Amino acid sequence: MIKKAFIALAVIAVLIGATAIWFWRSMGFMEAARLVPGDAIALVELPDLPRTAFRWPQTAISKITGEPEVKAFLEKPLSGFFGAPEPKNGKGSKGPKKSDGNSPAEVLIRLKPGHIFAAVLSVSSSDSSLLVGFQFWGGKGDCDHAIARIRKEIERSQKASEQKSESYQGDEILSTNYGNFTLYSASHGHWGFLANNPDGIKQALDRAAGRTKGGSLAENTKFQTATKRLLPDPDFLFFSQPERFIDTLLAVGATAGATVNPEQVEQIRKVQAIGASIKLDGLDLRDSIFILHENPPKLGKLAHAGIQLTEETTAGYVDFLLNFQQLATVNNLKPLLNLPSIQSSQLPVLLPEAYGPECAIVMNWAEGQMKPDGFVAAQIRDKAKAEASIQELTTIFPQYTVSDIGGFKAYNFTNLNGVMSSPTFALIDGFLVVGLNPTDVERAIAAQKAGKPLIKSAAFAYARSEFQSANEVFGYLDIRAAFNRFYPLARQIAVFSAAINPSSTSAIDVNKLPSTEAVAKHLNPIVYAQSRYDDGYLLQSRGPVSLSQAGFLGAFGAAPLLKNLR
């Protein structure tokens, strides 16, 4: 009996396996890069939408937005984007409107997309060739319905003037002219395509049908080199070959009268390719960026010497390698370095000989403080020349005071003082420390003597792998600690502002601001690691959002504020 049951299970397993193999083969290529020519300028891909949808609920952002307090707070601001709910009448809420099956959600449910990609095939000063592809699990009718929905959306702003149908190798190519451009669409098997160029869509159909073999982006050595450094099984993939369009950009810029920095152009030309990936990994959003650059300059290897200046409660830490000799070539620093008082001193000569290559930035944020404290540290290469550089500073800024902090001389230059800062310079054991205030230097000295750095804290265990792998730059931000310090104060300010000027917070309901713990309990640190390889640079980050994502969100959020400040 057991033997018969085992045989039955084996037969079922074989049938399931055979069905799965047949199904996957019928889906065609599973890699978008095999449908794009090897000389494509750029590729953006969402490799597996069902997998991404499965991973998303596990992320910190999803868990935060799922908190009841956060959901209640978001009701008002989100209604400004998506519209308020239907008002109720005397007989109750308005009955639901009968759907026509054309809402974006319904179209996607019917289509059941797996992969989605967009590629820039070529760029010239007057035109560009674009290709969009999507793999779908629905039927051909569902694909046609989705494309018709896209055309309908375009026609809201641009009326179609002409529509044609062409048969190509057994597939139908539908073209619609909208005046400024023509949209071409077609499908083969379980792949649908949109393009603004007939050659681009025909090439995609040839590759999907297997008529064109070889020469795809997947076989491009630069693509292979870049992507092998990226995260496995990503939820987002990007690849670009900037050398393919830099001349076009320069030509367009010259036509527009833009000035070009030859040194920057030379550095850009050395970049052969750029690859990037994002992966939803448990609570974290992880990303990796690889810059393919043959024989990048060697600055040495990061030894994390500055970590000894931290404490177990340090909220933020960055250490990096810096070539002080190249400071003179940094455009933003040239006005400062070209000042007569500095040019006539020995400072430009002394700095590269006295300091480096390791530098560190340390941020401490004690409970109850309105703002964080911090300092910058540079490793001393030559103590005598470091002391000479401080003496040069006293010549450039003759108004200064000297005090004793922990047995070391601390210099404060009156001309550099601000409203809330009093920059202080001190040469301590192995480092030049520059603090925003004398207390920052005092804290660095105390931390070095105590011997209980951040690396010994339980919270830092999360960042240990990046700390060990980074050989040029490492960054750590305890976002939970920072949020616990910043948010309660920001919440009080918001409530106070709403009481004084209700219109200042009209977009949100300050009385529904979530508690600190509702958000903070989901926050891991943000970690960053940059490493140099013989063929380029690898930049990796992870956290509730990665460092690059945080930078993008910060820029996006600051844009309206900067606009209002003009």
Collapse the DSSP code of 269 into the 3-class scheme (helix H, G, I; strand E, B; otherwise coil) and give the result: helix
- Whether 387 and 253 map to the same domain: the answer is no
Q: Is a pLDDT exceeding 80 seen at residue 533?
A: yes
pLDDT at 103 over 60: yes
pLDDT, tens digit (0-9, with 9 covering 90-100), for 200-228 = 999 999 999 999 999 999 999 999 999 99
| 68 confidence band (pLDDT: 50, 70, 90) | very high
| Pair 137, 273 in one domain | yes
Would residue 157 count as lying in a domain? yes
Smallest CA-to-CA distance from 99 within 90, 89, 88, 107 is with 107
pLDDT band at 548 (very low <50, low <70, confident <90, very high): confident
Q: How confident is the model at residue 335 (pLDDT cuts 50, 70, 90)?
A: low
pLDDT reported for residue 22: 36
pLDDT at 198: 94
**Taking residues 497-516, what's their average pLDDT?**
81
* 497 and 436 inside one domain: no
Q: Which of 451-455, 490-494, 544-548 has the highest mean pLDDT?
A: 451-455
Both tokens assigned to 8: 């039955």
Verify that 517 and 529 share a domain, yes or no: no
CA end-to-end distance (rounded Å), the chain? 83
Distance in angstroms (rounded) separating the CA atoms of residues 440 and 423: 9
Question: Do residue 377 and residue 315 come from a single domain?
Answer: yes
Residues 518 and 531 placed together within one structural domain of the fold: no
* Domain match, 204 and 305 both: no
- Angle value at C-alpha 66, between 64 and 68, nearest 5 degrees: 100
- Whole-angstrom distance, CA of residue 277 vs CA of residue 239: 9
Preceding omega of 357 cis (within 30 degrees of 0): yes
Residues 122-152 have pLDDT tens digits of 988 778 899 999 999 999 999 999 999 999 8
| C-alpha to C-alpha distance for 13 and 460, rounded to whole angstroms | 46
Beta strand extents in 72-215 (DSSP E only): 88-89, 92-93, 113-123, 128-136, 162-168, 171-177, 182-188, 191-195
List the single range of 50-54, 172-176, 394-398, 467-471 with lowest mean pLDDT.
394-398
Domain-terminating residue out of 279, 311, 334: 279
Mean pLDDT of 322-334: 68
Taking each continuous run of H as one helix and of E as one strand, the counts in the chain are 19, 22
Which residues in 412-431 are b (16+ Cβ under 10 Å) and which e? Answer: bbeebeeeeebbbbbbbeeb
pLDDT at 93: 52
Among the listed residues 172, 184, 218, the one whose alpha carbon sits nearest the alpha carbon of residue 39: 218
Looking at the domain assignment, is residue 21 inside a domain? no
What's the mean per-residue pLDDT of the chain? 85
The domain boundary, picked from 247, 279, 311, lies at 279
Does a structural domain hold residue 284?
no
Q: Phi first, then psi: give them for residue 417, nearest 5 degrees.
A: -70, 145
Q: Is the pLDDT of residue 387 over 50?
A: yes
pLDDT at 11: 44
pLDDT of residue 510: 85
- Residue range 436-448: mean pLDDT, rounded: 94
Q: Residue 555: inside a domain, yes or no?
A: no
Using CA atoms, how far residue 432 sits from 110, 352, 354, 356, in Å, is 64, 13, 10, 10
What is the per-residue pLDDT for 481? 92
Q: Which of 25-34, 70-79, 365-374, 531-540 has the lowest mean pLDDT?
A: 25-34
In a domain, 347, yes or no: yes
Q: Is the pLDDT of residue 240 over 70?
A: yes
With a CB cutoff of 8 Å and minimum separation 6, the contacts of 234 are: 47, 277, 278, 279
Closest CA to 196 of 177, 217, 168: 177
Number of compact structural domains in the chain: 3
Buried b (16+ CB within 10 A) or exposed e, 376-388: bbbbbbeeebbeb
Give CA–CA dist 464/290, Å, rounded: 21
Look up the domain containing 168 and give its range. Answer: 1-15+38-70+103-279
**Is 121 within 8 Å of 41 (Cβ atoms)?**
yes
Examine residue 292 and state whether it is found in any structural domain, yes or no.
no
CA distance linking residue 301 with residue 271, whole number of Å: 22
CA distances from 229 to 182, 217, 289, 371, 449 (A): 38, 16, 8, 38, 40
Q: What is the pLDDT of residues 255-275, one digit of tens each?
A: 666 676 777 777 788 899 999
Distance between CA atoms of residues 108 and 313, nearest Å: 48
Report yes or no: 441 and 300 within 8 Å, Cβ to Cβ.
no
**Which residues does residue 89 pair with via DSSP β-bridges, in sequence order?**
92
Residues 550, 526: Cα–Cα separation, whole Å: 9
- Residues 350 and 389: beta-carbon distance below 8 Å: yes
258 and 315 assigned to the same domain = no
How far is Cα 212 from Cα 37, in angstroms, rounded to an integer?
10
149: its two tokens: 């929905």
Task: For residues 73-88, give the mean pLDDT.
Answer: 66
Query: Does residue 562 have a pLDDT over 70?
Result: no
Lowest-confidence range among 252-256, 486-490, 559-563? Answer: 559-563
Q: Is the pLDDT of residue 28 over 60?
A: no
Are residues 333 and 192 both part of a single domain?
Answer: no
Q: Is residue 366 part of a domain?
A: yes
Check whether residue 251 and residue 233 sit in a common domain: yes
> What is the per-residue pLDDT for 5?
46
Residue 263 or residue 484, greater confidence: 484
Q: Which residues, 6+ apart, have CB-to-CB distance to 155 below 8 Å? A: 178
Residue ranges of alpha helices (H) inside 31-119 are 49-55, 60-65, 68-82, 104-111
Alpha-carbon gap, residue 279 to 59, rounded angstroms: 10
Q: How many CB atoms lie within 10 A of CB 313?
A: 15
Residue 517: is its pLDDT beyond 50? yes
Residues 6+ apart with CB under 8 A from 388: 346, 350, 354
- Smallest CA-to-CA distance from 365 within 450, 484, 474, 475 is with 484
344 half-sphere exposure, CB direction, 13 A CA radius: 5
Mean pLDDT of 434-446: 94
Return the residue matching tokens 């560009």. 128
Residue 384 domain flag: yes
Per-residue pLDDT reduced to its tens digit, 150-198: 998 888 888 888 889 999 999 999 999 988 889 999 999 999 999 999 9
| 8-state DSSP, 532 | E
Alpha-carbon distances, residue 334 vs 327, 342, 348, 359, 559 (angstroms): 8, 11, 11, 21, 27
CB atoms near residue 530 (< 10 Å): 22
- Contacts of residue 439, defined as CB under 8 A and 6 or more positions apart, other chains included, come to 373
Residues 265 and 402 in one domain: no
- Across 62-71, 341-350, 408-417, the highest mean pLDDT is recorded for 62-71
pLDDT tens for 361-373 read 999 998 878 788 9
Which of 196, 44, 39, 198 is CA-nearest to residue 122?
A: 39
pLDDT of 26 > 90? The answer is no
Residues 264 and 397 in one domain: no
- Enter the tokens of residue 288: 């990796």
